[in-house]
Structure 1
Amino acid sequence: MTNPLLAPWDTPFDLPPYDTIRDEDFAPAVETALDEGRAAIKAITDQADAPTFANTIEALECADETLGRVLGAFYAVAGADATPAREDLMRVFSPKLAAYGSEITMNADLFARIETLWQARDTLELTEEQARVLMLTRRGFVRAGAQLEGAARSRLGEIKERLASLGTQFTQNLLADERDWFLPLAEADLEGLPDFVKATARAAGAERGQDGPVVTLSRSLIVPFLQFSPRRDLRQKAFAAWVARGANGGETDNRAVAAEILKLREERAALLGYDSFAAYKLETEMAETPDAVRELLMAVWEPARAMAEADADVLTGMMRADGINGDLEPWDWRYYAEKRRKAEHDLDEAEVKPFLQLDRMIEAAFSCAHRLFGIEARPVDVPLYHPDCRAWEITRDGEHLALFIGDYFARASKRSGAWCSAMRSQQKLAGNIRPVVINVCNFAKPEAGQPALLSYDDARTLFHEFGHALHQMLSDVTYESISGTSVARDFVELPSQLYEHWLEVPEVLAEFATHADTGAPMPADMLDRLLKAKNFDQGFATVEYVASALVDLAFHEGSAPEDVMQRQAEVLTDIGLPRAIPMRHASPHFAHVFSGDGYSSGYYSYMWSEVMDADAFEAFEDAGDAFDPATAQALHDHVLSRGGSVDAKALYTRFRGRLPGVEALLKGRGLTAA
């Protein structure tokens, strides 16, 4: 039988035929695709013609077309609907793909052709986009070790393969801990919980084959449980399991895995001539240096910690009023913060949630994109990888732009968090290829027949991930390597974090925040209170994030620690982390940093981008309209459609006329008096 991954895809929008693909199809398809890729590289290096941009750089861009299709189909399901077979495949594919990447970047004949073009670049009459692709291609080869020789060259290849395996192991260990733990609850344990938390706990119990409700380690369940449960003992038990992910001993313990990853990254950087892995990694980012990252983080840390410590005093007083004389603990913070929010802002999440229906928030995200960029979203019925997924065709002026897939609900087979990925990226080199973009979230799935309700933070997450999706869907470049979100890591969060601002536009919530039972719009006074409380508990949120970013930086700036937990503790002590606030991601479950190189030395990038997103939204405010057409067009033309075709600093300067300072961020988080 023909492997459906390798046959022509006679499907709507050229989607992978998930209704016919079996797990056992992936491995042979990958092998075939790797062979095709090697043959394409050999064709480039064996040709007698002198190097040209077309026969070398453009040919290299097209070399892995089949591999991209196969892996796009595989990784879409591997993270969002893991099975034992798919986890086995990930463990096999990771080192194999790393070795294949090294074959290419350390191919001396291929690099010689690239270097010839680089040295002659001023005579090639390249477009701005082509010149950018040439620079990035050469830089990528150099940073991957193309100029190394002998033992150093071989060792770097070994390091890459081992890091790929360790990243997969880290991810799978974390998923196993999250999947396997749950806390059974008796009916009496549900006392004091809002109906939506009870319903989520019962649905989670049913999913795990339990007779009654359970608390799992899904953020969409454990966070509201910590917010609302009056049972301090149960909060402590659930919190302890949450922060212990990846550090429970046995086969799924990530502490030794993280330590080995750090040592190998340090060795990798040294082989390439860098003082540290942070110096290596940040060289290509907007920040450029570890010192610049630390300067930003510490500018935010001091006012955030001061706010958090003042908040801790208030929460401790509330705890005393409840007759508890011990210290305020991490499992107490959310519970008393929620009570304080209700007291000070007259906001009860249980009353707000019915107005934040998932379907209506999806409509809101689409509506804002229509008003800003003219896109339309039409639901389509296509074969997808899981029954929870749904899809929309995205068009503008009747022209197909993208297929957008939403996979919104938590399940045991899905890794935690939220993310955006592209099953296929936009490009024009091989024709007018339009993207297939996926948003994956972990919202609580409702009981059958009930609407899915979101917290305000959930709604922000939905807008955030759709901002990433817009960056992919509105991309308009020639080369896939610079398409969509293929930008500096500390620039990639700009479109996503900027898009969150439109959720806070009063007219958006006034239209789309409607009650799940009555259909009535959110009362004006509730809307006003919700928006006024947007920075509530911002000290906590900022401190837990910045603490994680500073630990990440410390891990990669100096010598790799033998004991990651000891080094983590040293950093947190040095910065004076308030005792009742843990870092957002402790090292054994810090997937951003250890599941791959993406955010290693780069967790700060959310805040670097926030400096820009706060300033960028001010452009709309200065225009007097959150949907100002001229500003939206400039955002589209200079940021969202350009991918990585221009340096990130230049792109932002073209949009805003200058680079921003940290002031707008501090103001936006309520960390200044301004």
Structure 2
Amino acid sequence: MNHPIFKLTTLSVLTFAVQQFTFADSSTRQTLPQFQAQDIPALCDAKIQDIQKQLKNFEAKPMSAQNNAASVLAEWDRIFASFEDFYGPIGLYSNVSPDAALRKAAEDCEIKISQFQTDIYQNPKLYQQIKNTQASDAIDSKFREDLLNDFEKTGIQLSAEKQARLKVILAELAKIEQEYARNVRDNPQKLEFTPAELKGLPQSYIDTLKKNDQGNYLLGFEYPEYRPFMELADNDAARKRYQIAYTRRGGERNLILLKQAMDLRYELAQLFGKSSYAEWALHKRMAETLEAVNKFLSDVHATVAPLEQKEVNTLREFQAKTLNIPLAQAKIERWSEAYWSEKLRKAKYQIDQEKMREYFPTQAAQDWLFAISSNLYGIEFKPAKVDVWQNEVEYYDVTDQKTGQLLGGLYVDKFPREGKYGHAAVWGVYGGSSLTGRKPISALVTNFNRKGLNSDELETFVHEFGHALHGILSTTRYSAQSGTSVERDFVEAPSQMYEEWARRKETLSKVADYCQPACPRVDDKLIAKLNAVHSYGRGLHYARQTLYAQYDMALHGSNALKVQPLDVWKKMEGSTAFGYVPNTEFPGQFGHIMGGYQVGYYGYMWSEVLALDMLSAFGKNLNNPEVGQRYRQTILSQGGQKPAEDLVKDFLGRKPDNKAFFDEITGQRVK
């Protein structure tokens, strides 16, 4: 199943098989099918039955130890590509459809598909069909190994009794993870704030808010409402109230669900004879072992902990000076850190993040991002009118500049709405295949301010666009290895590297070329300020990232059954510079550890090690199309058909190292 990388027309069962694609050019473009909620259950059952029939034929093929892997793997990939044609959109629509009934029907279908996939990978006949092949080249060998690993991680080698229990566990986990995400995503709660509590916020922000009959403002948990409030609202008590509610938006139920997931994951690991879920999950990752992950996190923590404390002291000194109070009375709380950090940035660096929206209008930022990507990778983005799930969603054909060949499709869903996935993410809905000519499709989902982006949001846009390009520019032999189907602790690296394009003058200065009406142009002075702002808060940022990663590992260790997630969080957050805030419930809305990144959050920093190392190949010219083409061919086009370390070696011409990363987190990286 697809996981986000992080945030329909009526069709009958009989017509779905031939109408599942919308073609503007019948020989090239493949777009996403559109559904009605009431049709999904029957469509879901029909597609599962169709795949069952195809797999029956597959398992009945004569076997021999001399089977050529190429033909067997090609048939397998063709079957599962046809399956992805259905379940890829279903996974997307369960998170983005404006229709609550359709989201629920898609979720129910996802549960059926998850259970069916468990059946597939516990089928010994299918396993033997793959195992009894001989690969003739490295790509087939890697795909064969990946498939065998999928069977083995689904318990093909276990006893019938353990297989049955594993199937129950996986089904329960799928339901729990869905409910957890739904509780966060669909929370309708609105907090009431008086006009006085909004002092400090710009009028442009206030004008977007709804009022109640008493004239007070109603704010929900969407990013464009929450983040500016925490950075700009002068009322300390209002910020505290909002932050506590924000951390509790998953509800008490999500703490129960998280504990259930922890216990089930531990039991799963026990079925495989592993001491912990972390040990089980790290198999086939770049890090490989629990010890390697914990050492990495320990090294990062040792580096950033002093920086975090230094930055907290700097904020206290600034607060004391601003309020004209003794330093001993100055205190920075977790709910006031963003507020005082923003004030310090304005005072020390003259950077007002709300003013940055004037430099980066949302549409201009998108046009600019298309342009720099086109230059770097030799591609074009051509808008096309296709059926979409909401009227503001955009679609683009992505083509090669030299050949005109269609490379893939891109959907862009930029703005917040009720019931939509609340952060920024990319769904690699379809994988591409050079063997069959199948084209990849990525869906980029964000929740941006309609008027403009601040510099942090621009980085987010570029980051997620990097994921989308990783999918679209993939030219792998097999669709199952397309795009972001790489090791989990490498998957963020291409996107993290691309963030640098949102920080340098050579690229940022070009945003103004796409502004209509005109907007201010980024100059040397502003770049220097933005770099200073980027450097500021480095300790706070990486300390928090380390905390999240260490917490993730703590929940999935060998003593998982004995701990409660909120108790562990209170203890771990309590030992940080700001401590634990009473009544907050961060674990109940930590979507990463319930959405595919469990025992994987460390991967954000692990990937950044590789991202910054790969960035060195561009030197001082980020717009170099020669390096861009080499990167496109050696990294992006390869998807997961090579081990990630080999990809990086191919691009850099050497083994990767971590020097650039530790220079970055200590503020010593030369730009």
- Kindly indicate whether residue 427 of structure 2 is the aligned counterpart of residue 421 of structure 1: yes
- Kindly indicate whether residue 569 of structure 2 is the aligned counterpart of residue 568 of structure 1: yes
**CA separation in 2, counterparts of 1:62 and 1:156?**
27
- Write the letter of the residue equivalent to 1:375: I
**CA separation in 2, counterparts of 1:571 and 1:39?**
51
For residues 556 and 49 of structure 1, do their structure 2 counterparts lie closer, same or farther at Cα, with a shift above 3 Å needed?
A: closer
TM alignment of 1:248-397, pairs within 5 A: 248-249=251-252, 253-320=253-320, 321-322=322-323, 325=329, 327-396=331-400, 397=402
**CA separation in 1, counterparts of 2:205 and 2:567?**
36
Partners of 2:505 and 2:523 within 8 A in 1:
no
- How far does the alpha carbon of each residue in 1:611-631 deviate from its partner, in whole angstroms, 9 at most, with x for none? 01111111111xx42233442
**CA separation in 1, counterparts of 2:280 and 2:216?**
51
Q: Identify the residue that residue 578 of structure 1 maps to in structure 2.
A: 577
- How far does the alpha carbon of each residue in 1:401-431 deviate from its partner, in whole angstroms, 9 at most, with x for none? 11111111112211222111122221133x2
Q: Identify the residue that residue 193 of structure 1 maps to in structure 2.
A: 201
Q: Identify the residue that residue 481 of structure 1 maps to in structure 2.
A: 480
For residues 327 and 413 of structure 1, do their structure 2 counterparts lie closer, same or farther at Cα, with a shift above 3 Å needed?
A: same
- Kindly indicate whether residue 613 of structure 2 is the aligned counterpart of residue 609 of structure 1: no
Comparing 8-17 with 150-159, greater Cα deviation is found at 8-17
SS in 1 for 2:446: strand
- Write the letter of the residue equivalent to 1:440: V
Partners of 2:635 and 2:651 within 8 A in 1:
yes
- Write the letter of the residue equivalent to 2:153: R
Match of 2:660 among 635, 644, 664: 664
CA drift at 1:544? 1.5
- Kindly indicate whether residue 121 of structure 2 is the aligned counterpart of residue 105 of structure 1: yes
CA drift at 1:195? 3.2
CA drift at 1:188? 3.4
CA drift at 1:185? 3.4
CA drift at 1:49? 5.2
TM alignment of 1:444-523, pairs within 5 A: 444=449, 446=450, 452-513=451-512, 518-523=518-523
**CA separation in 2, counterparts of 1:196 and 1:661?**
46
CA drift at 1:87? 4.1
Q: Identify the residue that residue 7 of structure 1 maps to in structure 2.
A: 18
**CA separation in 2, counterparts of 1:543 and 1:269?**
29
Partners of 2:485 and 2:639 within 8 A in 1:
yes
Partners of 1:361 and 1:459 within 8 A in 2:
yes
Q: Identify the residue that residue 160 of structure 2 maps to in structure 1.
A: 150
Partners of 1:408 and 1:440 within 8 A in 2:
yes
For residues 46 and 421 of structure 1, do their structure 2 counterparts lie closer, same or farther at Cα, with a shift above 3 Å needed?
A: same
- How far does the alpha carbon of each residue in 1:580-613 deviate from its partner, in whole angstroms, 9 at most, with x for none? 5889993211111113xx2110001110110011
Match of 2:138 among 119, 128, 153: 128
Q: Identify the residue that residue 449 of structure 1 maps to in structure 2.
A: none
Q: Identify the residue that residue 7 of structure 2 maps to in structure 1.
A: none
Count of residues in Structure 1 that have an aligned counterpart in Structure 2 = 643
**CA separation in 1, counterparts of 2:415 and 2:648?**
34
CA drift at 1:347? 1.2
CA drift at 1:212? 6.1
Q: Which runs of 5+ in 1 are unaligned?
A: 447-451
Match of 1:442 among 442, 447, 462: 447
**CA separation in 1, counterparts of 2:213 and 2:370?**
36
Partners of 1:504 and 1:531 within 8 A in 2:
yes
Match of 1:229 among 230, 233, 238: 233
Match of 2:61 among 8, 33, 47: 47
**CA separation in 1, counterparts of 2:577 and 2:68?**
58
- Write the letter of the residue equivalent to 2:642: V
Partners of 2:423 and 2:446 within 8 A in 1:
yes
**CA separation in 1, counterparts of 2:612 and 2:127?**
41
SS in 2 for 1:497: helix
For residues 210 and 608 of structure 1, do their structure 2 counterparts lie closer, same or farther at Cα, with a shift above 3 Å needed?
A: farther
Q: TM-score, normalised by structure 2?
A: 0.91
For residues 25 and 244 of structure 1, do their structure 2 counterparts lie closer, same or farther at Cα, with a shift above 3 Å needed?
A: same
- How far does the alpha carbon of each residue in 1:425-471 deviate from its partner, in whole angstroms, 9 at most, with x for none? 21133x21111211101113x4xxxxx21111110010001111111
Q: Which runs of 5+ in 2 are unaligned?
A: 1-10
**CA separation in 2, counterparts of 1:599 and 1:297?**
16
- Kindly indicate whether residue 51 of structure 2 is the aligned counterpart of residue 37 of structure 1: yes
Q: Identify the residue that residue 412 of structure 2 maps to in structure 1.
A: 406
TM alignment of 1:200-211, pairs within 5 A: 200=208, 202=209, 205=210
**CA separation in 1, counterparts of 2:546 and 2:330?**
27
**CA separation in 2, counterparts of 1:210 and 1:34?**
53
Partners of 2:483 and 2:636 within 8 A in 1:
yes
- How far does the alpha carbon of each residue in 1:552-577 deviate from its partner, in whole angstroms, 9 at most, with x for none? 0111122214411112233345xx31
Q: Identify the residue that residue 8 of structure 2 maps to in structure 1.
A: none
**What is the alpha-carbon root mean square deviation over aligned residues?**
2.4
Q: Identify the residue that residue 3 of structure 2 maps to in structure 1.
A: none
**CA separation in 2, counterparts of 1:147 and 1:157?**
13
- Kindly indicate whether residue 647 of structure 2 is the aligned counterpart of residue 651 of structure 1: yes
Q: Identify the residue that residue 25 of structure 1 maps to in structure 2.
A: 39
Match of 2:628 among 622, 625, 632: 632
- Write the letter of the residue equivalent to 2:444: N
- Write the letter of the residue equivalent to 2:654: R
For residues 10 and 565 of structure 1, do their structure 2 counterparts lie closer, same or farther at Cα, with a shift above 3 Å needed?
A: closer
**CA separation in 2, counterparts of 1:269 and 1:144?**
11
- Write the letter of the residue equivalent to 1:563: Q
**CA separation in 1, counterparts of 2:294 and 2:213?**
47
CA drift at 1:32? 0.6
For residues 76 and 585 of structure 1, do their structure 2 counterparts lie closer, same or farther at Cα, with a shift above 3 Å needed?
A: farther
- How far does the alpha carbon of each residue in 1:121-156 deviate from its partner, in whole angstroms, 9 at most, with x for none? 3xx5x1221111111111111121111112111111
**CA separation in 1, counterparts of 2:132 and 2:214?**
65
SS in 1 for 2:132: helix
- Kindly indicate whether residue 168 of structure 2 is the aligned counterpart of residue 168 of structure 1: no
CA drift at 1:489? 0.5
**CA separation in 2, counterparts of 1:509 and 1:673?**
20
Q: Identify the residue that residue 77 of structure 1 maps to in structure 2.
A: 93
CA drift at 1:377? 1.2
For residues 663 and 55 of structure 1, do their structure 2 counterparts lie closer, same or farther at Cα, with a shift above 3 Å needed?
A: closer
Comparing 45-54 with 406-415, greater Cα deviation is found at 45-54
Q: Identify the residue that residue 182 of structure 1 maps to in structure 2.
A: 190
CA drift at 1:270? 1.5
**CA separation in 2, counterparts of 1:175 and 1:471?**
26
For residues 214 and 402 of structure 1, do their structure 2 counterparts lie closer, same or farther at Cα, with a shift above 3 Å needed?
A: same
For residues 113 and 77 of structure 1, do their structure 2 counterparts lie closer, same or farther at Cα, with a shift above 3 Å needed?
A: closer
For residues 58 and 326 of structure 1, do their structure 2 counterparts lie closer, same or farther at Cα, with a shift above 3 Å needed?
A: same
Partners of 2:484 and 2:640 within 8 A in 1:
yes
SS in 2 for 1:409: coil
- Kindly indicate whether residue 605 of structure 2 is the aligned counterpart of residue 600 of structure 1: no
Partners of 2:98 and 2:389 within 8 A in 1:
no
**CA separation in 1, counterparts of 2:462 and 2:22?**
32
Aligned-pair identity (%): 24
Q: Identify the residue that residue 617 of structure 2 maps to in structure 1.
A: 619
CA drift at 1:350? 2.6
**CA separation in 2, counterparts of 1:5 and 1:189?**
53
- How far does the alpha carbon of each residue in 1:491-516 deviate from its partner, in whole angstroms, 9 at most, with x for none? 11111111111111212211114777
**CA separation in 2, counterparts of 1:581 and 1:654?**
45
